[in-house]
A and B are shown apart, each in its own frame.
Chain A
Amino acid sequence: MSAAETVTVSIDGREVEVPKGTGLVETALAAGIEIPVFCYEPRLGAPVGACRMCLVEVEGIPKLQAGCTLTATDGMVVKTAQTSKLAADGQNSTLEFILVNHPLDCPVCDKGGECPLQDLTFRWGPPVTRNTFPKRTFEKPIPISPTIALDRERCILCYRCTRFSSDVSEDDQLVAQARGSQSIIATFEDQPYRAPFSGNVIELCPVGALTSTQYRFEARPWEIQDVPTVCGLCPVGCNVEATTREGKVKRIGSRNHPEIDEGWLCDKGRFGFTHLRAGDRVVDPSRRVGVRRSETLSWDAALDEAEAMLRAGGANIVTALSGSETVEQAYALGRLLRQGLGAHCAVMPEDVNPALDAFRLPLSSIRDAKLIVILGDDPIVERAPVVDLWIKAARRAGAEVVESEIGAPDGGVAKARDELGERIRESERAILIWSGPAGNGGATIAGLAAELDLAEKPGSGAFHLPETANGRGVADGWAAAADGDEADPEPIELLIVSGDEAAANPDVRALAEQAERVLAISMFRSPVAGWADLVLPGTSYLERDGTYVNLEGRLQRLRRAVIPPCPDELAWIAKLAERFDVDLSPHSPQVFAELSERCYGGIDYSAIGEVAELPERAAAVEVPPAPKAPKRERGKGLRLVSYRPLFSGPAVERVPELQFQRPGSEIELSADDAKKIGAKAGSTVQVISNGTSVALHARVNKQLVKGVARIAAEHAQGLGTHVEVST
C-alpha cells in the first residue's frame, strides 16, 4: 500500500502535515491546537455544524467557518481563536448565546467539574451575562427512563443524543421536537427510552442535561477516582472506567478501546454495577443447618469445614465453573483440586475451541467488512451487545449483512456454504459470525471459515459469540493447572459450584441432586440457599484483580475498583491450598506469572496494558469434525428455540432500574406458523408444553424457519423442547 497523500495546513502560524481529508479539528490537534467543540463527535457520523463553538477564520473565506465541518486541504491557512480576534469573538458569542438561557446551576449539577460547557466558558466565554430577561424554563428533571433523567433547561441542543439514537444505535427513540428556541429533546409520546444502548447518551451529553439516575447527586468529580478495568458481564469485554467514591462504585463509564467497543457500552454493563450492593449479597461463609436454616461461620471454621469436605471428596469431586471467574481463579481452583486432590472433573460453562484463533480479528474489523454472514439462533444484541453496533456500522457503510434463518437444523451452516460459499470466497473482507449455543465453541464456524479459505485473507475472519464473559480464560486456567484423567467420578462425593451463573444452571442443579455434598461460591444468597452445604462468599468483576479473555481471544486486565466485602477467592483458595501442600500465591500477578508460562507464552502481567492488544492470528489447526448433532427430540407443535436475554442473569435481577429493560413476554413465530395459528402480531397466544401453559404476545419474525418458535429464556421456563401455540 502506498503512503496516503498528505496535505500541509497552517494553523495559527504552525505548519502541520496530515493525511488528505483529515478533519480540521484533528488537524489542529496534530498541530497542538485545540478547536473547542460541543456537537462535533466523529463517532456519530458526519459533522452537523450545529453548535458553532468551533468557529475559525479560514483565509480566503470572509465568514467564520465551523471548523468541525471542514477537512484539511493543501495550503489551507486557518486562524483559531488563539490568533484571530474574529474567531475569538465568534466563540465568545456562541457561549454567550448558549448561556442566555442556561440555568448555570453548576453547583448542584452532576456535570459540574467535568463539564465541557463549564470548561469552555471559563476559557472563551463572557465573564458576565448581558441578559436581563427571565430564562426559558421547562419542567425538570424528566425521567426519560428509569436510568436517565433529562433536564431541558441545561440542554444546549447539540443533538449528540438524538444522533446517537438515530445514527449509531438506530433505535430512533430520542428525537428533537418543536422548533427554534422551544426545541426540546424528547421521546415519542413520553414513552421511556427503552433500548439496549440508551445510557451512552449520558456520556455523550456535553452538559448536565442527560444524567444517570443512579449517579445523580452521588459524587463530585474532585472526590472520585476512576479505575480502568473491563466489563465482566458479557464476552465482549468492553473497556470501562469504574468511578468510585469512598470505597463504592458510583457509576460505570466507557474507556474507548477503538478495536473493541469504540467507547459504547450497553446498559447492562453501564447500569448493572449496583448488584454489588444487593440485599442478598453473601459476605460471610455459612453452613446449612437442617433443611432451611443456615448459620454464619468464621473464616477459620469455614476453611476447616471446606478442608473436611475436600478430604472426604478426594478425587470424587466435580467442579462446576461459571465463566465469570478470572483466569487466575480458575487456575488456582485447578491447582488446589487437580494437583492437591486429583479431582480433575469439571463442568465447563461452555465449549471452547482453539480452531477459531486462526481466523482472529479485532471486532472493529466488522465495521470495515464488505460481507457479513450471521449464523446461529440468538439475537446478537442479546449475546454480545456491542457486536450489534459494529454490524450496524458496517451496514451503514454499505456492507451486505446476511442473516441465516433462525432454527435451521445446523445453525444455517449448510445453507451458507451452498448458497453463499462462492461469494464469501470471492468477497473481500468477509466475516462470519456465530451467535448462539452449540457451534462447538467456535469449531463449527472455524470449520466453515477454513473451508472458505478465510485464514489468509486480510480483513476476513470468523467470530463465535460465547455465552459467558470469560469461558475461554476459565478453560485456559483450568487446563493449565494440571494434566489428568477427566473421567466422571462415581459417586460424586462433592460438587463445587463456582459462581452464580453455575448455580443457576439447571444441569448443575441436577448434579447437585446426585452429589453427596455441595460447596458453593456465590455472591448472592438466593441462588444457593437451601441446597448448598457450605457457602463461601464470591466477588464481582469490579472487586477483583486478574485477567479475562474476551470473544476475540484478547487477554485483558481487570483492576480492582473497590474492596469486596469479603476476602476474594484467590485469598482463601491459597490458604486452603496450603493445607493440601499446594503452593499457591494469593496475589493475581504471581498467579498469572505462573499460569502465563503454561498457557500464554510467558507474557508478563504488566505487559497487558490498559488498552490490551490482540494476539496475532494463530496458525491453522486441524478443525475437529463437528460432533454429530444430538438427535432432535420429536414433539408436538413447534420446536422451541430459547435464548438468554441481555437483560437477565444474577446481576440484572438485582438492579431495580434495569427491570424495565427485560424482554417483553413474547413468542416469535414464523410468518407461516402465525398465519396457520391465526395469531396476529401483538395478539395474545397460549403456549402449552409439558403441562405448562403461558400466555405470550405473538410477534412475527420472517427469519424464523417454519415450525420453530423463539422465546426469551425467562418466559420459556418450564416449557419443553416443543410448544403448542393456539389463539
Chain B
Amino acid sequence: MADTMQLVLAGADERDLTKLGEYKAVGGYATLEKARGMSREAVIEEISSATLRGRGGAGFPMGRKLSLVQPPEAAGKPTYVVANADESEPGSFKDREIMSRVPHRFIEGCLIAAHAIGSRHVFIYIRGEYLAEYEVLKAAADEARDAGVLGDVALIIHRGAGAYICGEETALLDSLEGKRGQPRPRPPFPPIAGLYGAPTLINNVQTIANVPVIIDLGAAEYSKIGPEASPGTVVYSLSGNVERPGNYELPLGTTLRELIYDVGGGIPNGRQLKAIIPGGSSVPVFTPDQLDTPADFDSIQAAGSFLGSAAIIAVDDRACMVQLALRAEKFYMHESCGKCTPCREGTRWMVSLLDKIESGRAEHADLDLLRNVCDRVEGRSLCALGDFAVWPVRSYIDKYRAEFEAHIDEGGCPYGGGSSIEGVVAPIDQHTHSPVAEVPA
C-alpha cells in the first residue's frame, strides 16, 4: 500500500495548526524568516530547482512564473501576489483541506512568494461557497497580522461570488478588480501585466503551500520525492465510487490503482470499476485498463488525459456515460461565462444534443453532430473552459460509443431507471445557484 507522505499537511493530524502558537511550535514561520534572510534571486532559484509545478491544474513551473515577474524597481510598478483559492473543479477539494487545516503554511508561502518578487500585497481570492474555510483563513491571517508576522505586507482575502470561471487566472484578476469575471486574452500573461496591469504572480493554494516546504527542506531534498520531472507530494482528492473518499497527500506518481484500491479501499458494494476521471471532471476519461498509470503530470498526459488538480473520480458500472456526460455538460453550460462564442453557444448546443440522446429521441446523425461540435469548440475558445466542456463528452463518446449508440437504437437509456451517477457528481440542482438555463427539449 502506498504510504501517505505529509509535507503540506504535515503536523495537522497531531495538532491544531490553525492556531499561530501551534504552528510556530512545529517550526512555523521560521522558514519565512529564513527566506527573508535570503536574496530574492536565491528564493526563486530554490523554487526553480525544486521544479515545483503548479497544483491548480496546468502544472506550469512556479519558478518560471517567478522569474518572469519583473521586480517593482525594474517595472516601475508595484508587484502583486495573488493566491487562487477559487477551487471549483468538480471532484477537487484539496485547497479547502489545506486552508482549513494548515492556513498558516499557506500564508507563510504567500509571504515567501511576496518576498521573492518584492511585493507588498498578497490577495487571496477564495471561492465564495467556502465560508467555513474563509473564516479559518481569516482568523489565521488576523492572528498572523497581530503577531507582526506579515511585516509590511498587506494581506487581503477576497471572497468570490460563485463563478467557476473565476478560477481561470485572468477572470479571477478581473473579478478581483471589481469587474465582471471574464477571462482576458493572453498574452500578456499575468507575470507581465496582471492585477491592475502590474506584474503579478498568481498561483494555486497548494502550489503556494509547497513553498515553505521547499525552502525548509531545500530543493535538493524536495526533488528526491516523486518523479524527477514533477517532484513533491500532491494532495489527491479521491472521490466517486470508492470505499474511502477523501484527501490524501502522497508523492506524485502514485498509480491510479494504488489510489483507488489501496488508499481508497476499492469500489464499494462489490461493483466493478467502469471509468476513472483522473484530474477533475473536465479531463478526458480513463478506462480501467489504464489503472496502472502513475498519477503525475507527465504520465497522465502521456496516457491521453491531464492530472489537473489531482482530483481522482472513480465511476462504477452502474453509471450511464450519457447521463454522466449530460450532467457534466450542464455544469459547463451553466459556468460558461458568455464571453467567447464557441464556449457560450457550443455548451448549450451540446447539452441539447446530449439531452436528446439520453431521452432516446436522437438519431445516429445527432451523435456524429455532437462529436463534431466538440471538435469545433475545442481549441477555439478564449480560455480553457471551452476545452474543459469538450473533453469529458468527447472522451465518453470515443471510449463508450456503444453506450451512446444503444441510447439511439433502443430509443432510450439502456439502463432504464437502473443507472446511477450518485456519488460521482452531485445532482445539478445542488450545483446551480440560479435556475438552470432553460434548454429546449
Q: Which residues of A are at the interface with B, using a C-beta cutoff of 8 A? A: 47-53, 55, 62-64, 66, 69, 89-90, 93-94, 96-98, 100-101, 130-131, 133-134, 136, 156-157, 159, 175-176, 178-183
B376 contact from A89, A134, A136, Cβ within 8 A: A89
- Interface hits, B398-431 → A, CB 8 Å: none
Q: How far is the CA of A130 from the CA of B381 in the complex (A)?
A: 20
**B345 part of interface (Cβ distance < 8 Å):** yes
**B122 part of interface (Cβ distance < 8 Å):** no
User: What B residues does A50 contact at CB under 8 A?
Assistant: 339-341, 382
What distance in Å separates the Cβ of B282 from its nearest Cβ neighbour in chain A? 16
User: What A residues does B17 contact at CB under 8 A?
Assistant: none
Max count, chain A CB within 10 A of own CB: residue among B184, B334, B336, B344: B344
Max count, chain B CB within 10 A of own CB: residue among A66, A179, A183: A179
What distance in Å separates the Cβ of A264 from its nearest Cβ neighbour in chain B? 23
Whether the pair B344, A180 counts as a contact (CB closer than 8 A) is: yes
Query: Could you show 7 A-B contacts with beta carbons less than 8 Å apart?
Result: A50-B382, A93-B376, A98-B345, A157-B344, A179-B165, A179-B335, A183-B337
B437 contact from A52, A69, A182, Cβ within 8 A: A182
Whether the pair A97, B342 counts as a contact (CB closer than 8 A) is: yes
A52 contact from B180, B335, B382, B440, Cβ within 8 A: B382
Whether the pair B336, A181 counts as a contact (CB closer than 8 A) is: yes
Q: Nearest chain-A residue to B179 (Cβ)?
A: A166
- Extra pairs beyond A94-B341, A97-B349 (8, CB < 8 Å): A50-B341, A55-B380, A93-B380, A131-B349, A157-B344, A180-B344, A181-B347, A182-B437
Whether the pair B338, A97 counts as a contact (CB closer than 8 A) is: no
Whether the pair B337, A98 counts as a contact (CB closer than 8 A) is: no
Q: How far is the CA of A97 from the CA of B341 in the complex (A)?
A: 7
Mask, B367-407, CB within 8 Å of A = 1, is: 00100000011011110000000000000000000000000
Main secondary structure of the interface of A (DSSP, over half): loop
Q: Which residues of B are at the interface with A, using a C-beta cutoff of 8 A? A: 163, 165, 180, 184-185, 333-342, 344-349, 352, 369, 376-377, 379-382, 437, 440
Max count, chain B CB within 10 A of own CB: residue among A134, A181, A182: A181
> Which 8 A-B pairs have CB atoms at the shortest separation, nearest pair first?
A183-B338, A49-B185, A93-B376, A180-B336, A97-B345, A181-B348, A69-B185, A134-B440
Whether the pair A100, B349 counts as a contact (CB closer than 8 A) is: yes
User: What B residues does A183 contact at CB under 8 A?
Assistant: 337-338, 344
Max count, chain B CB within 10 A of own CB: residue among A48, A101, A175, A178: A48
Max count, chain A CB within 10 A of own CB: residue among B163, B185, B345: B345
What distance in Å separates the Cβ of A125 from its nearest Cβ neighbour in chain B? 12
Q: How far is the CA of A388 from the CA of B345 in the complex (A)?
A: 38
Q: Nearest chain-B residue to A95 (Cβ)?
A: B341
Q: Nearest chain-B residue to A182 (Cβ)?
A: B437
Whether the pair A98, B163 counts as a contact (CB closer than 8 A) is: no
User: What A residues does B337 contact at CB under 8 A?
Assistant: 179-180, 183
Q: How far is the CA of A181 from the CA of B369 in the complex (A)?
A: 20
Whether the pair B342, A52 counts as a contact (CB closer than 8 A) is: yes
User: What B residues does A64 contact at CB under 8 A?
Assistant: 379-380
Whether the pair A51, B376 counts as a contact (CB closer than 8 A) is: no
Whether the pair B185, A48 counts as a contact (CB closer than 8 A) is: yes
What distance in Å separates the Cβ of B58 from its nearest Cβ neighbour in chain A? 15
Whether the pair B185, A179 counts as a contact (CB closer than 8 A) is: no
A94 contact from B180, B185, B380, Cβ within 8 A: B380
A157 contact from B185, B334, B338, Cβ within 8 A: B338
What distance in Å separates the Cβ of B163 from its nearest Cβ neighbour in chain A? 7
What distance in Å separates the Cβ of B441 from its nearest Cβ neighbour in chain A? 8
Q: How far is the CA of A157 from the CA of B338 in the complex (A)?
A: 8
Q: Nearest chain-B residue to A47 (Cβ)?
A: B185
A98 contact from B165, B336, B341, Cβ within 8 A: B341
Q: Known contacts A98-B345, A133-B352; decide if A176 and B338 are in contact (CB<8 Å).
A: yes
What distance in Å separates the Cβ of B335 from its nearest Cβ neighbour in chain A? 7
What distance in Å separates the Cβ of B197 from its nearest Cβ neighbour in chain A? 10
B336 contact from A52, A89, A179, Cβ within 8 A: A179
User: What B residues does A180 contact at CB under 8 A?
Assistant: 333-338, 344, 347-348, 437
User: What B residues does A94 contact at CB under 8 A?
Assistant: 341-342, 380
What distance in Å separates the Cβ of B331 from its nearest Cβ neighbour in chain A? 11
Q: How far is the CA of A157 from the CA of B341 in the complex (A)?
A: 8
Q: How far is the CA of A178 from the CA of B182 in the complex (A)?
A: 12
Q: How far is the CA of A190 from the CA of B333 in the complex (A)?
A: 26
Q: Known contacts A131-B349, A180-B337; decide if A90 and B382 are in contact (CB<8 Å).
A: no
What distance in Å separates the Cβ of A58 from its nearest Cβ neighbour in chain B? 12
Q: How far is the CA of A133 from the CA of B353 in the complex (A)?
A: 9
Q: Nearest chain-B residue to A89 (Cβ)?
A: B376
Q: Nearest chain-B residue to A99 (Cβ)?
A: B345
User: What B residues does A66 contact at CB under 8 A?
Assistant: 185, 382
What distance in Å separates the Cβ of A87 from its nearest Cβ neighbour in chain B? 10
B340 contact from A47, A51, A134, Cβ within 8 A: A51
What distance in Å separates the Cβ of A84 from its nearest Cβ neighbour in chain B? 13
What distance in Å separates the Cβ of A42 from its nearest Cβ neighbour in chain B? 14
User: What A residues does B334 contact at CB under 8 A?
Assistant: 179-180
Q: Nearest chain-A residue to B376 (Cβ)?
A: A93
User: What B residues does A62 contact at CB under 8 A?
Assistant: 379
Q: How far is the CA of A178 from the CA of B339 in the complex (A)?
A: 11
Q: Nearest chain-B residue to A177 (Cβ)?
A: B180
Q: Known contacts A49-B382, A52-B340; decide if A97 and B346 are in contact (CB<8 Å).
A: yes
What distance in Å separates the Cβ of A85 from its nearest Cβ neighbour in chain B? 13
Whether the pair B333, A181 counts as a contact (CB closer than 8 A) is: yes
User: What A residues does B347 contact at CB under 8 A?
Assistant: 180-181
Whether the pair A181, B380 counts as a contact (CB closer than 8 A) is: no
What distance in Å separates the Cβ of A50 from its nearest Cβ neighbour in chain B? 5
User: What A residues does B345 contact at CB under 8 A?
Assistant: 97-98, 100-101, 181
Q: Nearest chain-B residue to A55 (Cβ)?
A: B380
User: What A residues does B342 contact at CB under 8 A?
Assistant: 52, 93-94, 97
Max count, chain A CB within 10 A of own CB: residue among B185, B335, B337, B382: B185
User: What B residues does A176 contact at CB under 8 A?
Assistant: 180, 338
